[in-house]
Structures are given as C-alpha cells and as structure tokens.
Amino acid sequence: METEQRMRRHLSPFFAKLRATEFETAHAKKYINKRASKNASNATINRELAILKRAFRLAAQSDPPLVGHIPYIPTLKENNVRTGFIEDDQYLALRHELPDYLRLLLVIAYHTGVRKGELLKIGKAQVDLKAAQIRLNPGETKNDEGRVLPIYGDMGPWLEMQLASLEANFPTCRWLFHENGRQIQSFRKAWASACTRAKVPGQLFHDLRRSAIRNMERAGIPRKVAMQISGHRTEAVYQRYAIVSARDVREAGAKLERFLEVQRTTTKTTTPGNIEDRRRQVTH
C-alpha cells in the first residue's frame, strides 16, 4: 500500500539508523529539506511525516510506553488544494478506458467516496449482495473504525460479475480488487493512461471521493449519513471544497424571500402614511 511504499522508499532509508529515543525535531526538519530538494511537494512530505507522527503516538500508547515523549514534528503549509470533480459522463468514459481489473474499483469509489487505501483492503467475503452491503472491517480503515457501505446503482451488477469471475478463475484469491488473483498494490500509470484516453488528463483517483460526496449532497442524503459512508469524521471536506447541495441553496433562497416579504409587509403597514390611510378608511 501507499504507506508501505512511503516507508520503504523514503522514511526507512533516512531514519533507519536513528533510535526513537534519539529523535528530535531537528531530524524531521533535515528530512523535510532533503525531500524538498528532490522536488517533493509539501502535501507529499506531510503525508510521509504523518506516518512518523502516528508511529510515535502508537509507541507512547503502548503498555509500557516505548517512548518517553512524542517529539514535535512540523507540518508544512499546503497551497495545492484540489477542487477537481468527476462528472457522470467522465466517469462513464473512464470506466470504458480503464483496464478490466480496475473498473470495479472505479465504480465503488465513484458511488461511495471511500479512500483508495481502504478499498484495496476489502476482501470478497465482506460483500453481502443479499443485504446490499459491503462491510469495512475495524482496523482496516483510516480511523480504525468499521463501517458499512450501501450497494446501489452500478455497484450491484459489477460486484456480481467480479465475484463470479473470482469463483471461476481465482477461487483462492481473497481480495475483491485484484489483478490476476493478486491484491492490487498500485495502479498510478494505468490510471493516468486511462485518463488521457478518456480526455480527462490530470484527473486524480482522489477526485472520486469529492465527487461521491457532492452526488450524495445533490441527492439529498443527510450529511451525517454521507460522512458515515465516505469515512469523513468532520465536515471539513464540505468547508474546504464548498460542497453545498442545490436543494440547500434553493431552500435558503426561499427562506430569504419569505423573510423579506414579511419585513416589507410589516414596514408597509406600520408607516405613518399607511396608518393614517387606515384611519380614514375606518372613519368613513
């Protein structure tokens, strides 16, 4: 997975000879400078440092603790906020252009907004077609909490085909997403090539996450339910990408219109001129 790749390629070679008890903030800063010199983006460096931070937190939570304190590890400012979305016609074009082994992954990501790392850990036994659910096991998600995904739309037929293919061709493979019976690890090049052929160059797999959230908002799914499906713990994604449903906008407009009508009616009926007109009507 990406975490293992980051550790193997970057973190381990740099920190392997350093004992945890010797680690200082200065070491993290040296790592940042080295990665920056290799043109790594701030976002990439932050994701790598996040692994280091988690390692120290887990070590401190051990019984007995494996480290005496958790050192300060700085976070770099990220200015490369993505606002990309994948529209439905682009989704269909990508589904057509992707190799067979990646099509189901696209379908599930587009419909649920689940993180790539969480999707790749799903086993075929976690799919319950009768209940129309996919279970994500505790300990295999970003926040280590289990949750349930709904099976709807394109997901059902594509899951049926995938499970039937696994049973017929790779019965010993336990993974839902696989390439020739082996768990998918990385597909960056295949994804980029498909995006080019589908005429959406530069589109990221992570854009499916934002797209699914926006689709759920547009469909009127309660935000709490949408967050449970996608695995968001806070509403930061909505604030960061300004995801607001059209229904909310329409309702806001209607409420404001009613408010202004009431205000104008009240003002009109309480002005001195209107009060005098009403008095004349009463006396005559």
Instruction: Tell whether the model's pLDDT for residue 124 goes beyond 70.
Output: yes
Q: What is the CATH number of domain 88-241?
A: 1.10.443.10
Q: 136 near 114, Cβ under 8 Å?
A: yes
Instruction: Tell whether the model's pLDDT for residue 148 goes beyond 70.
Output: yes
| Average pLDDT score over the chain | 87
- Chain Cα centroid distance, residue 66: 32
Q: Note the pLDDT of residue 275.
A: 47
The domain spans of the chain are 2-61, 88-241, 246-283
Selection from 71, 57, 61 nearest residue 23 by Cα: 71
pLDDT-based confidence at residue 282 (cuts at 50, 70, 90): very low
Instruction: Tell whether the model's pLDDT for residue 189 goes beyond 90.
Output: yes
- By CB atoms closer than 10 A (0-12, 13-18, 19+), residue 112 is buried
Give the number of residues written for the chain.
284
Q: Note the pLDDT of residue 266.
A: 74
- Residues 244-271, mean pLDDT to the nearest whole number: 73
Q: 1 near 185, Cβ under 8 Å?
A: yes
Selection from 63, 58, 81, 72 nearest residue 23 by Cα: 72
Strand partners, 159: none
Q: Note the pLDDT of residue 245.
A: 61
Question: Is the pTM here over 0.85, yes or no?
Answer: no
- Residues 75-95, mean pLDDT to the nearest whole number: 83
Q: Note the pLDDT of residue 201.
A: 92
Residue type, 114: V
Q: Which residues contact 214 (CB under 8 A, 6 or more apart)?
A: 85, 243
Q: Note the pLDDT of residue 144.
A: 77
